[in-house]
Chains A and B, each alone.
Chain A
Amino acid sequence: MTDPSPAPVLEMIGVEHAYRRTVALRGVTLTVQAGEVVAVTGPSGCGKSTLLHAAAGIVRRQAGTVRLLGEDLATLDETARTRLRRRRVGIVLQFGQLVPDLSVVENVALPLLLDGHERRAARTAAIEWLARAGFDEDADAPPSELSGGQAQRVAVARALVAGPAVLFADEPTGSMDMLGGEQLLELLLGAASERGVAVVLVTHDNVVAAHADREVRLRDGRVETEAVLR
């Protein structure tokens, strides 16, 4: 017998997380299906970035369950979680977060190199992804020479180079103007949709959120509303 609905890429059940003084998540339950684009929105301090970090296993939830690509993150040690992220998860943050000591192309090739791919093949794949991302400057330059928009294109290429099943993006267009942001978003969502990559998109920008299939709105660390936009 075949299962009619494939397993979700992300399942969060009753997830709670607190920083030293503030409670960021108060029991969040959220499911993301393969290929789905979900926008996580809400006022500042509502817990949306913490939700993304807990989903990606960057912070450990203090209560509840996070199942990412079928793996219960609580049962994985740090090494296993890092390996899962490197192979199957792409992450794009607001300011690119490129490694300053590596060139642009080395930054993009990094996930493949860390995963033991051969150097030349990794470089070739990185150059292909940079072209796909519309990066048209010197790929051997250091990230410090890039504009914000170009750095984000590099970050998108790096997030997608290893062929992830899910992409986590935290305010990916937050440092860009409207036109640049729109181009980056089209690139990111276009590439994800072609490859059936699920996207969890944290944003405070309503126009960015409107590109999603579904909006999950948080308030005070809880899901306040959910809306299907498709």
Chain B
Amino acid sequence: MATNELVLALLRQGPAHGYDLKRDHDAWFPDARPLAFGQVYATLGRLERSGQVEVLETRSEGGPERTVYALTERGEQQLRDWLAEPAGPAASSAEEIVRKTVAALRTGGDAAAFLARQRAAHLRRIRELTATPAGADPAARLARDHLVVHLDADLRWLDLAVERVAVAGRRSDDHAPATSEEAIR
């Protein structure tokens, strides 16, 4: 995950301390795993050493000391370069859902029942995502849309798998020898 660049993007909104960055990140990606504090500070440390962020001030205001970070020109440039590059299309045939489906088919289990259960699980996840309002923030909505569209792509693939299993089933029925009962009749 491009945590470095995400932290740069978060800082692009203005100087902030680690807690602000964590909170903003979690608001940008409400359905993703929350960013751990440890990860925020480790990333800020890395970015500071490479000159992409700088310490603006250290406030204490009675509470624990808080370091406020700001983007440097080098950090701005890195962010621009990152956004100028398209992300690598990442479809993998080794994803869990593909592994399980192929394994279900190869091991001769009840593939149709497996596919039906997987379909229901995906539909329920989409239902959860669309039922909880993402609020008016379009960026939070976008991250959620991405999940929904990918789940939909999985579902279309599952539908195709069901069709292939059904067609294969019909074909093997055609070639199967008649049962003894049919032979007698």
**Which A residues are within 8 Å of any B CB, using their own CB?**
43, 182, 206-207, 209-212, 215, 217, 219, 224-225, 227-230
**Contact indicator A207/B152 (Cβ below 8 Å):** yes
CB closest chain-A residue, reference B123: A210
Cα(A215)–Cα(B163), bound, Å: 18
Identify the interface centre among A207, A210, A230: most chain B CB within 10 Å of its CB.
A210
Instruction: Point out the residue from A182, A209, A219 that lies within 8 Å of B123, measured CB to CB.
Output: A209
Instruction: Point out the residue from B120, B124, B126, B163 that lies within 8 Å of A207, measured CB to CB.
Output: B126
B127 within 8 A of A: yes
B155 within 8 A of A: yes
Given contacts A207-B148, A207-B152, A215 and B123 within 8 Å (CB-CB): yes
B77 within 8 A of A: no
Given contacts A225-B116, A227-B116, A227-B120, A210 and B163 within 8 Å (CB-CB): no
CB closest chain-B residue, reference A209: B123
**Chain B residues whose CB sits within 8 angstroms of the CB of A228 once the complex forms:** 120
Given contacts A43-B159, A43-B163, A210 and B120 within 8 Å (CB-CB): no
**Chain B residues whose CB sits within 8 angstroms of the CB of A206 once the complex forms:** 122-123, 126, 152, 155-156, 159
CB closest chain-A residue, reference B163: A43
**Contact indicator B119/A227 (Cβ below 8 Å):** yes
**Chain A residues whose CB sits within 8 angstroms of the CB of B127 once the complex forms:** 210-212, 229-230
Shortest CB distance B149–A (Å): 8
Cα(A207)–Cα(B120), bound, Å: 12
Shortest CB distance A43–B (Å): 7
9 contacts between A and B (CB under 8 A): A206-B152, A206-B155, A207-B126, A210-B127, A210-B130, A211-B127, A212-B127, A225-B120, A230-B127
Shortest CB distance B133–A (Å): 10
Interface class of chain A by DSSP: mixed
Shortest CB distance B89–A (Å): 20
**Contact indicator B124/A229 (Cβ below 8 Å):** yes
Shortest CB distance A178–B (Å): 8
**Chain A residues whose CB sits within 8 angstroms of the CB of B163 once the complex forms:** 43
Shortest CB distance A185–B (Å): 9
**Contact indicator A227/B159 (Cβ below 8 Å):** no
**Chain B residues whose CB sits within 8 angstroms of the CB of A43 once the complex forms:** 159, 163
**Which 10 pairs of residues, A with B, have the shortest CB-CB distance?**
A210-B126, A227-B120, A206-B155, A225-B116, A210-B123, A210-B127, A229-B127, A229-B124, A206-B152, A207-B152
Identify the interface centre among A207, A219, A227, A228: most chain B CB within 10 Å of its CB.
A207
CB closest chain-B residue, reference A213: B127
**Chain A residues whose CB sits within 8 angstroms of the CB of B120 once the complex forms:** 215, 225, 227-229
Identify the interface centre among B123, B126, B130, B156: most chain A CB within 10 Å of its CB.
B123
Shortest CB distance A173–B (Å): 13
Mask: chain B, 127-169; 1 = CB below 8 Å from A; 0 = not: 1001000000000000000001000100110010001001000
CB closest chain-A residue, reference B124: A229
Shortest CB distance A194–B (Å): 15
**Chain A residues whose CB sits within 8 angstroms of the CB of B126 once the complex forms:** 206-207, 210
Cα(A163)–Cα(B120), bound, Å: 32
CB closest chain-B residue, reference A219: B166
Mask: chain B, 99-131; 1 = CB below 8 Å from A; 0 = not: 000000000000000001001101110110010
**Chain B residues whose CB sits within 8 angstroms of the CB of A207 once the complex forms:** 126, 130, 148, 152
Identify the interface centre among A206, A224, A228, A230: most chain B CB within 10 Å of its CB.
A206
CB closest chain-B residue, reference A204: B159
**Chain B residues whose CB sits within 8 angstroms of the CB of A211 once the complex forms:** 127, 130
CB closest chain-B residue, reference A179: B145
**Chain A residues whose CB sits within 8 angstroms of the CB of B130 once the complex forms:** 182, 207, 210-211
Given contacts A207-B148, A210-B130, A211-B130, A229 and B159 within 8 Å (CB-CB): no
